[in-house]
Amino acid sequence: DARVTQTPRHKVTEMGQEVTMRCQPILGHNTVFWYRQTMMQGLELLAYFRNRAPLDDSGMPKDRFSAEMPDATLATLKIQPSEPRDSAVYFCASGLAQGVTDTQYFGPGTRLTVL
Amino acid sequence: RKEVEQDPGPFNVPEGATVAFNCTYSNSASQSFFWYRQDCRKEPKLLMSVYSSGNEDGRFTAQLNRASQYISLLIRDSKLSDSATYLCVVNSHSGGYQKVTFGTGTKLQVIP
């Protein structure tokens, strides 16, 4: 049963520290999404990759966030420096883009707490 | 106006009841639609796609109304295990890539 994996599952850090979250998409999928979920804002799309190329990162604060796909099996989301308002659950999702029916499969998320 | 809007609920319904949720969207060029289910402290999971002709999967029926720009989810014979938050997703395609917008979700609580 293929699944998206994310590490770490939980991260507690202090303000100003760098945070790196990792995602392994389902083998064969060609799209990767990064989302942030909070109680107040719900699910927000941060970045979207297709075939490892970033296509949309308009939802991501550029000054402190960066997203990359060094290879087809790894996507990373980095926050530097982290701030308390970054506390949220960060989900990665992958999918296979086929026309207009692009479904996504979510990983279990990284629960980030910035003190 | 938000691009995708859902009534947050909660909808508290007894077991066996029928319940329906709507989700409205503002972009008339939206092309694909989905319902996801999210349990507390878990990731969203795909429940079903929504097709123009409507589709049914067991107790769940999804419909799309393009003229009024909304999608709906109907759950018949509610079970306790249906308690979750239901998220609608609206995709539009522009410039070769998709724009994905999630609703904030409707919380359903099925009570014994």
- Read off the pLDDT of each residue in A34-44 and give the average, rounded to a whole number: 90
Chain A touched by B98 (CB under 8 Å): yes
Q: Which residue has the tokens 């878990």?
A: B42
Chain A interface, best mutation among B3, B7, B43, B101, by max A CB count within 10 A: B43
Cβ atoms of B80 and B93 within 8 Å: the answer is no
Handedness of CA B35, B40, B43, B45 (dihedral sign): negative
Find the CB nearest A56 among B31, B87, B97: B97
Cβ atoms of A36 and A44 within 8 Å: the answer is yes
Of A1-5, A33-37, A54-58, B2-6, which range is least confident? A54-58
Q: How far is CA B6 from the centre of its chain?
A: 8
- Model pLDDT for residues A42-55, shown as the tens digit of each residue: 899 999 898 999 88
pLDDT, chain A, mean: 92
Q: Is B44 within 8 Å of A33 when comparing Cβ atoms?
A: no
- pLDDT tens string, chain B, 112 residues long: the values are 778 999 999 999 999 999 999 999 998 888 889 999 999 999 999 999 998 888 999 999 999 999 999 999 999 999 999 999 999 999 887 666 678 889 999 999 999 9
pLDDT of residue A97: 76
In chain A, the percentage of residues whose pLDDT exceeds 90 is 73
pLDDT of residue A2: 84
- Read off the pLDDT of each residue in A42-71 and give the average, rounded to a whole number: 90
Strand partners, A68: A76
pLDDT of residue B100: 84
Chain A touched by B27 (CB under 8 Å): no
Chain B touched by A25 (CB under 8 Å): no
pLDDT of residue A77: 97
pLDDT at A101 over 70: no
Closest CA to B22 of B93, B94, B70: B70
Strands B60-65 and B70-75, sheet pairing = antiparallel
Chain B touched by A34 (CB under 8 Å): no
Q: Is B93 within 8 Å of A100 when comparing Cβ atoms?
A: yes
Q: Is A101 within 8 Å of B32 when comparing Cβ atoms?
A: yes
Chain B interface, best mutation among A4, A26, A38, A43, by max B CB count within 10 A: A43
Interface of B with A in 56-75 (CB under 8 A): none
pLDDT of residue B2: 79
pLDDT at A93 over 70: yes
- The rounded distance, in Å, linking the Cα atoms of A81 and B49 is 39
End-to-end CA distance of chain B: 37
- The rounded distance, in Å, linking the Cα atoms of B20 and B108 is 10
Give the neighbor-by-neighbor strand order of the sheet with B4-6.
Answer: B4-6, B19-25, B70-75, B60-65, B55-57
Strands A53-56 and A65-71, sheet pairing = unpaired
Closest CA to A18 of A58, A64, A70: A64
